[in-house]
Amino acid sequence: MTEKTVSILGATGSIGKSTVDVLRHTDIPFSVKALVGNRNISLLAEQAKTLRAEMAVTADETKYAELKELLAGTSVKVGAGKSAVLEAATMDADWTMSAIVGAAGLEPSAEVIKRGKTLALANKETLVCAGDIVMDMVQKYNTTLVPVDSEHSAIFQCLENNQKNAVDSLLLTASGGPFFLKDREYMETVTPQQAVAHPKWNMGAKISVDSATMMNKGLEIIEAHHLFAMPAEKINVVIHPQSIIHSAVAYIDGSVIAQLGNPDMRVPIAYAFGWPQRISSPVEKLDLPKIASLSFFTPDEEKFPALKLAKQALKAGSEATNVLNAANEIAVAAFLDRKIRFLDIAKVGEKVLENIKTFKLNSVDDAVALDKKARAEAEIVVQSLEPK
């Protein structure tokens, strides 16, 4: 077997750690080019040592000296700041995991795409911020794009070896998050702690809040639209609290093909690492009798307006989805800082979408500029919502 060279952008996060775990268990020979993290430099240094990475980068410039010290006496090259993150993305790895959180993942993903190798994409914001541009680049540079988001990995698997033109619709499953059975009155007063306590998935704070508002599913509709060139009307969300069916594809003959597995991100990560082969992973085997029953519900868009908002933005185009994503990131951070309330998160998105209308995206740089503008606008809206 030929050796694969690997980079992990966002190595110290939830997806990054699961990726490292998949690598530790694989028989496929690999070597590590770059590992990128942010503030958790002790973990980054440990990962760089044990995986013998060529380069370790922290996005936080103030941590450079500390990281350098932690890696003193090793051959690991150390970098810090945004330019070093982009340098790491340009290192010639065969397979790169894009698992930075938020719009900060867009430019590194774009750098990986330009090299024309394989991009394993967990950072859904890459497609939400600049989907049309990014998918054009994937074509232009002949890049292999393998989705890692569990729903999109499921759909990717259900589409393989089937006629793409025989697809009737995509069924995107959603756990419903921690507040699926709660009403709006309950959600008025929920704390960050309650919002990040996801019933099925153990994830980073931002995506956990997105799951609680269901903005995550909204972002995933946008992601699916770009990945699979599917119109919004053909992407249907189904609530499935057990999170065993990760998504499905309905065909015109009435067949529905689904992908099942335990809710463990190491499944889609191993799939993306092995693709087009399947490889073994350290994940617990699925025991269907133990699960006993699977249930399904229609989402309530009045209770979870973020879902409706994301669909509206998708209809309006890439500019609107970019703006909504930026507004959401600022709102989620403000909620986690206890500056605004849970139900204010969707309000920030709605307001910022109303306020920013005229902007045309022609490049990744345009997308980054629009993201910046929308963040500034969102900060103003957040301030207006903060209790006086």
Residues that bind Mg ion (CB under 5 A): 149-151
Identify the residue among 76, 85, 119, 381 touching ligand NAD (CB under 6 A). Answer: 85
The yes or no reply on residue 15 touching ligand NAD (CB under 6 A) is yes
Phi, psi of 178 (to 5 degrees): -70, -15
Least distance CB 29 / ligand NAD (angstroms): 25
13 near ligand NAD, judged by CB under 6 A: yes
Burial status of residue 52 (CB atoms within 10 A of its CB: 0-12, 13-18, 19 or more) = exposed
Say how many C-beta atoms besides its own lie within 10 A of residue 285's C-beta. Answer: 6
Does 11 help bind ligand NAD (rule: CB under 6 A)? yes
- Near ligand NAD by CB under 6 A: residue from 19, 47, 118, 123: 123
Whether the Cβ atoms of residue 212 and residue 178 lie closer than 8 Å to each other: yes
- By DSSP bridging, strand 77-80 and strand 30-37 are unpaired
Q: Which two tokens stand for residue 352?
A: 């910022």
Assess 125 for contact with ligand NAD (CB under 6 A): yes
CB nearer to Mg ion: give 258 or 364: 258
CA nearest neighbour of 134 among 173, 98, 159, 163: 98
Q: Distance between CA atoms of 20 and 16, rounded to whole angstroms?
A: 6
154 part of the interface to ligand NAD, by CB under 6 A: no
Per-residue binding string, ligand NAD, 36-75, x by CB under 6 A, is: xxx--------------------x----------------
Given Mg ion, ligand NAD, none, residue 243, with its beta carbon under 5 to 8 Å by kind, binds: none
User: By CB under 6 A, how many residues form the interface with ligand NAD?
Assistant: 28
Positive/negative CA dihedral, 232, 121, 268, 219 = negative
**Region near ligand NAD per CB under 6 A, out of 95-103, 156-164, 230-238, 310-318:** 95-103
Instruction: Output the furthest CA–CA distance in the chain (Å, rounded).
Output: 63
Q: Where are the beta strands (DSSP E) in the chain?
A: 4-9, 30-37, 55-58, 77-80, 95-98, 118-121, 144-147, 167-174, 235-239, 245-251, 256-260
Q: Which does 201 bind (CB under 5 to 8 A by kind): Mg ion, ligand NAD, none?
A: ligand NAD
Work out how close the CB of 59 gets to ligand NAD at its nearest, in angstroms, rounded to a whole number.
Answer: 3
Q: To the nearest whole angstrom, how small is the minimum distance from the Cβ of residue 163 to ligand NAD?
A: 28
Q: Which of 101, 248, 313, 327 binds ligand NAD (CB under 6 A)?
A: 101
What is the rounded CA–CA span in Å between residue 113 and residue 106? Answer: 11
Residues that bind ligand NAD (CB under 6 A): 10-16, 36-38, 59, 85, 99-101, 104-105, 122-125, 149, 201, 203-204, 206-207, 265
